[in-house]
Every structure is written in structure tokens, then in C-alpha cells.
Amino acid sequence: GEDVEQSLFLSVREGDSSVINCTYTDSSSTYLYWYKQEPGAGLQLLTYIFSNMDMKQDQRLTVLLNKKDKHLSLRIADTQTGDSAIYFCAEGLETYKYIFGTGTRLKVLA
């Protein structure tokens, strides 16, 4: 079946790097996405990676994809207090479906 799993919480100190991990089960994904959600708001697309890529860098964000292990990670360099939010990974499937994880709550300590 289709399932995306993430750890629930991550706490880091301001200025450190954050790494948020995600595993998925469906191998037919075309793109994989990372979204950020602040309290009471919708989901904001942060970055995405095509399923045949291994890595993508976008300013402070680095996405790593291990397709063999179905593992996706998001690294945030120089984490700031404004990065505190819930981060969702999602699979985009060929069938127009998007499967979301349960979200990782990132807390950045000053």
C-alpha cells in the first residue's frame, strides 16, 4: 500500500543544521516534495526532487533521495527560529495522487 512515514519531533539549536527524514513505500513516485506548515496556515511548497535524481540543493535546503531504500531527507543549513514549523514530505504518483507523511515538528531553540 501507499505509506509515508516521518519522525514526529526534532529539536535543534539556532545555527545548527537540521535533518528531517522520510521513508515511503510506493516506488511509482515521479516527484517527492517537502512542504512547510506554520500554525493555522496551509502547506507551503519548499522544494522538490525528481525521482531519478539523488540530490538537489536550493540555498539552505538540501534534499537527498535514496531510491533503493525509499528514503528522503531534508537538510536545513544554519537553522533559524523562523524555520520552526511542521515539515511534511509527500510523494507525487503517476495517478495524480499525492501521499503525505504525518509531519515532523521542528523546534529551533535560540
Partner 1 sequence: EAEVAQSPRYKITEKSQAVAFWCDPISGHATLYWYRQILGQGPELLVQFQDESVVDDSQLPKDRFSAERLKGVDSTLKIQPAELGDSAMYLCASSAGTAEKLFFGSGTQLSVL
Residues that bind partner 1 (CB under 8 A): 4, 29-31, 33, 35, 40-45, 48, 88, 90, 92-98, 100-103
For 52, counting Cβ atoms within 10 Å of its Cβ (0-12 exposed, 13-18 middle, 19+ buried), the class is exposed
For 20, counting Cβ atoms within 10 Å of its Cβ (0-12 exposed, 13-18 middle, 19+ buried), the class is buried
Q: Which amino acid is at 25?
A: T
CA atoms within 13 A on the CB side of 63: 22
Nearer to partner 1 by Cβ, of 63 and 103: the residue is 103
CB of 30 to partner 1, least distance (A): 4
Nearer to partner 1 by Cβ, of 25 and 102: the residue is 102
CB of 16 to partner 1, least distance (A): 25
Nearer to partner 1 by Cβ, of 5 and 78: the residue is 5
CB of 98 to partner 1, least distance (A): 6
